Structure 1
Amino acid sequence: MTEAEMIENRRYRPKPGEELRVFAYGSLMWRPDFPFIDLQPAVLYGYHRAFCITSTHYRGSVEHPGLVLGLDRGGQCQGRVYRVAPEDAETAADYLHRREMITGVYIPRLLKVRLPDGVDVTALSFIADRQHPQYAGKLSPEDVVARIRDAVGIAGRNIDYLRNTVQHLDQMGIGDCSLHRILRLLEAQS
Structure 2
Amino acid sequence: MLGYLQGLKGSGSGSEQLPSDIYSEIFADVLVAAKENGCKTNGQEKPEGFSMLRSFDSEASNQLEPPAATDADVWIFGYGSLVWKADFPYINRRRGFVWGYKRRFYQHSIDHRGIPERPGRVVTLLPGDPGQDRVYGVAYRIAANQKGAVLDHLDYREKNGYERCSLEFHGYPNTTASGEEPIQVIMYVATQANDSYAGDVWQVPCIAKQIFSSAGPSGPNREYLFNLAAAMEHLFPGAVDEHLEELVACVKRHIAEDEPNLMRHALLQEISGILQEKQLPEQAKRLEKLLERCQQPGGREWLLHGALQSRSEA
Which band: TM-score by shorter chain?
0.7 to 0.9
1:82 to partner: Cα distance: 0.9
Q: Deviations over 1:18-47 (max 9, x none)?
A: 101001101111211111112111211122
Q: Which residue of 1 aligns with 2:296?
A: none
- CA distance in structure 1 between the partners assigned to 2:228 and 2:171 by the alignment: 22
Normalized against structure 1, the TM-score is what? 0.84
**Does the 8 Å contact 2:75/2:141 carry over to 1?**
yes
Alignment equivalent of 2:249, drawn from 176, 184, 187: 184
Alignment equivalent of 2:157, drawn from 99, 104, 111: 99
RMSD over aligned CA atoms reads 1.8
Which protein is richer in strand relative to its size?
Answer: 1
Q: How does 1:5-24 map to 2 (within 5 A)?
A: 18-24=72-78
**Does the 8 Å contact 2:96/2:171 carry over to 1?**
yes
Q: Does 1:158 align with 2:221?
A: yes
**Does the 8 Å contact 1:49/1:72 carry over to 2?**
yes
Q: Does 1:125 align with 2:187?
A: yes
Alignment equivalent of 2:211, drawn from 148, 151, 162: 148
Aligned letter for 2:136? Q
Instruction: Tell which structure's C-alpha radius of gyration is larger.
Output: 2
1:118 to partner: Cα distance: 4.9
SS of 2:100's partner is: strand
Q: Which residue of 2 aligns with 1:167?
A: 230
Alignment: residue pair count: 173
24-33 vs 132-141, greater mean Cα deviation: 132-141
1:115 to partner: Cα distance: 2.1
1:145 to partner: Cα distance: 0.8
Higher relative contact order (CA 8 A, sep 6+): 1
- CA distance in structure 2 between the partners assigned to 1:129 and 1:164 by the alignment: 23
Q: Which residue of 1 aligns with 2:104?
A: 50
Q: Does 1:68 align with 2:122?
A: yes
Aligned letter for 1:123? V
- CA distance in structure 2 between the partners assigned to 1:158 and 1:113 by the alignment: 28
Alignment equivalent of 2:164, drawn from 89, 92, 108: 108
**Does the 8 Å contact 1:40/1:115 carry over to 2?**
yes
Q: Which residue of 2 aligns with 1:41?
A: 95
**Does the 8 Å contact 2:77/2:187 carry over to 1?**
yes
**Does the 8 Å contact 1:111/1:123 carry over to 2?**
yes
1:78 to partner: Cα distance: 0.8
Aligned letter for 2:169? V
SS of 2:93's partner is: strand
- CA distance in structure 2 between the partners assigned to 1:168 and 1:120 by the alignment: 22
How high is the sequence identity, in percent, across the aligned residues? 27
Normalized against structure 2, the TM-score is what? 0.52
**Does the 8 Å contact 1:18/1:89 carry over to 2?**
no
1:186 to partner: Cα distance: 1.3
Query: Tell me, which stretches of 5 or more residues in structure 1 are unaligned?
Result: 1-16
Aligned letter for 1:73? P
Which protein is richer in helix relative to its size?
Answer: 2
